[in-house]
């Protein structure tokens, strides 16, 4: 599966990057592209089109590719960009971002599929490239595992939809969940079936669920910034509650979510000092090397407008 790579290595080109994507067909979530640069010495058995592998095997190969490839990167286009651009152009955008996120500047690209719109770097578009090129097959695994991880994060805040099972694809269960619970902010509103189940301001008012929507909007914001959920509905002393604890490689963020109906500025009745002392006590009980932050985030809901996120408090604790 290195025929295409050797074609260009033998011409003296060094960095040959394989590109593939995951997530063009689902009704929800992002499209994720990956870019992988291998060396002639790369020798890992079992790499193939990610769709032909089990989830367990993909995870094993994901770790090995990350460890032994010369360079690996991802690029993401979210559901808003998919709706604004269309799924094809959003896929091209994700691919461009993946190329841009490489540490090594590629000399040539091997791209899965019959076409792409990358113009500044020479390329081959290869139909069924994930079965013909080891670089593309490796990229397909990276893209699939990364997208599955993101959809599992969304499952944590939308358990009724079981995004961890179908990953946003239009399964019978998913469509039934759409009918029962309506579309979420991560659904692709330009997709025909989703359009039929879009909730509006009156729906949330009738169901008295703006508080739930506000929390989920904030959680989505952190997931898109590559945070991972560590805890939700964390009960502190005095029965005070932290809505979410999200972490990345260097930060742990304790998040309190508020919501407001209407555009007027609302007086925030929250004892920040009390929360800081309670969180400090929680931190001392569970020591971590990550920096700790406390966020108080207000979500404003105004009829006929997109929800607005306002950071009321965003300070480092330790």
SS (H, E, C) 24-49: CCCCECCEEEEEEECCCCCCCCCCCC
Does 140 share its domain with 206? no
How much of the chain exceeds pLDDT 70, in percent? Answer: 98
Please state, in angstroms and rounded to a whole number, the distance separating the CA atoms of residues 43 and 272: 55
Whether the CB-CB separation of 190 and 90 falls below 8 Å is answered with no
User: What value does the CA radius of gyration of the chain take, rounded to a whole number of Å?
Assistant: 22
Q: What's the pLDDT score for residue 17?
A: 98
The total number of structural domains that make up the chain: 2
DSSP-derived secondary structure for 165-193: HHTT---HHHHHHHHHH---TTB-TTSHH
Indicate whether 9 pLDDT > 80.
Answer: yes
How many other CB atoms sit within 10 Å of the CB of residue 269? 6
Does 17 share its domain with 139? yes
User: Is 188 a domain residue?
Assistant: no
Which helix (H) or strand (E) covers residue 19, if one does? strand 16-22
CATH code of residue 126 = 3.30.420.10
Q: What's the pLDDT score for residue 240?
A: 85
Residue (of 177, 157, 174, 23) closest to 98 by Cα position: 23
User: Is 208 a domain residue?
Assistant: yes
The reported pTM is 0.93
Indicate whether 271 pLDDT > 90.
Answer: no
Q: What's the pLDDT score for residue 285?
A: 63
- 105: DSSP letter: P
How many other CB atoms sit within 10 Å of the CB of residue 107? 17
Q: For residue 143, what pLDDT band results from cuts at 50, 70 and 90? A: very high
CATH code of residue 290 = 3.40.1350.10
Whether the CB-CB separation of 318 and 291 falls below 8 Å is answered with yes
Whether the CB-CB separation of 19 and 148 falls below 8 Å is answered with no
Does 66 share its domain with 135? yes
Per-residue pLDDT reduced to its tens digit, 200-231:
999 999 999 999 999 999 999 999 999 999 99
Q: What's the pLDDT score for residue 138?
A: 97
Indicate whether 262 pLDDT > 90.
Answer: no
User: Is 205 a domain residue?
Assistant: yes
Q: What is the mean pLDDT of residues 182-187?
A: 98
Indicate whether 286 pLDDT > 80.
Answer: no
Q: What's the pLDDT score for residue 220?
A: 98
Indicate whether 268 pLDDT > 90.
Answer: no
User: Is 29 a domain residue?
Assistant: yes
User: Is 263 a domain residue?
Assistant: yes
Indicate whether 197 pLDDT > 70.
Answer: yes
Please state, in angstroms and rounded to a whole number, the distance separating the CA atoms of residues 65 and 140: 11
219 is in which domain, residue-wise? Answer: 200-316
Per-residue pLDDT reduced to its tens digit, 90-136:
999 999 999 999 999 999 999 999 989 999 999 999 999 999 999 99
pLDDT, averaged across the chain: 94
Angle at Cα 314 formed by Cα 309 and Cα 315, nearest 5°?
Answer: 175
Strand, coil or helix: 60? helix
Retrieve residue 90's tokens: 């959003």
Indicate whether 289 pLDDT > 90.
Answer: no
Per-residue pLDDT reduced to its tens digit, 44-57:
999 987 888 999 99
Indicate whether 282 pLDDT > 80.
Answer: no
Q: What's the pLDDT score for residue 280?
A: 81
Please state, in angstroms and rounded to a whole number, the distance separating the CA atoms of residues 102 and 24: 22
Indicate whether 292 pLDDT > 80.
Answer: yes
Indicate whether 69 pLDDT > 80.
Answer: yes
Does 98 share its domain with 217? no
What is the number of alpha carbons within 13 Å of residue 165 lying toward its C-beta? 11
């Amino acid at each position: 599966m290195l025929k295409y790579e050797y074609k260009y290595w033998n011409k003296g080109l060094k960095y040959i990057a394989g590109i593939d994507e995951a997530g063009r067909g689902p009704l929800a979530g992002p499209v994720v592209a990956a870019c992988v640069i291998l060396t002639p010495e790369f020798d890992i058995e079992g790499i193939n089109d990610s769709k032909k592998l089990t989830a367990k095997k993909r995870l094993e190969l994901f770790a090995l590719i990350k460890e032994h490839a010369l360079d690996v990167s991802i690029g993401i286009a979210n559901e808003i960009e998919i709706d604004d651009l269309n799924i094809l152009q959003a896929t091209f955008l994700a691919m461009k971002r993946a190329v841009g996120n490489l540490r090594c500047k590629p000399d040539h690209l091997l791209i899965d599929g019959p076409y792409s719109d990358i113009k500044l770097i020479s390329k081959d578009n290869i139909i069924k490239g994930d079965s013909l090129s080891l670089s593309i097959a490796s990229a397909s695994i990276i893209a699939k595992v990364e997208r599955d991880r993101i959809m599992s994060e969304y499952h944590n805040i939308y358990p009724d939809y079981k995004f961890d099972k179908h990953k946003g694809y239009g399964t019978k269960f998913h469509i039934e969940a759409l009918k029962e619970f309506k579309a979420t902010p991560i659904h692709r509103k330009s997709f025909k079936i989703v359009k039929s189940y879009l909730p509006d301001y009156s729906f949330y008012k009738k169901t008295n669920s703006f508080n739930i929507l506000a929390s989920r909007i904030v959680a989505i914001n952190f997931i898109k910034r590559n945070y991972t959920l560590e805890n939700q509905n964390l009960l502190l002393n005095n029965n005070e509650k932290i809505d979410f604890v999200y972490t990345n490689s260097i930060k742990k963020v304790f998040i309190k979510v508020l919501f407001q109906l209407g555009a007027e500025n609302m007086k925030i009745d929250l004892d920040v000092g009390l929360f800081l002392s309670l969180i400090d006590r929680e931190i001392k009980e569970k020591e971590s090397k990550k920096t700790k932050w406390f966020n108080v985030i207000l979500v404003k809901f105004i009829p006929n407008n997109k929800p607005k996120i306002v950071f009321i408090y965003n300070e480092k604790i330790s």
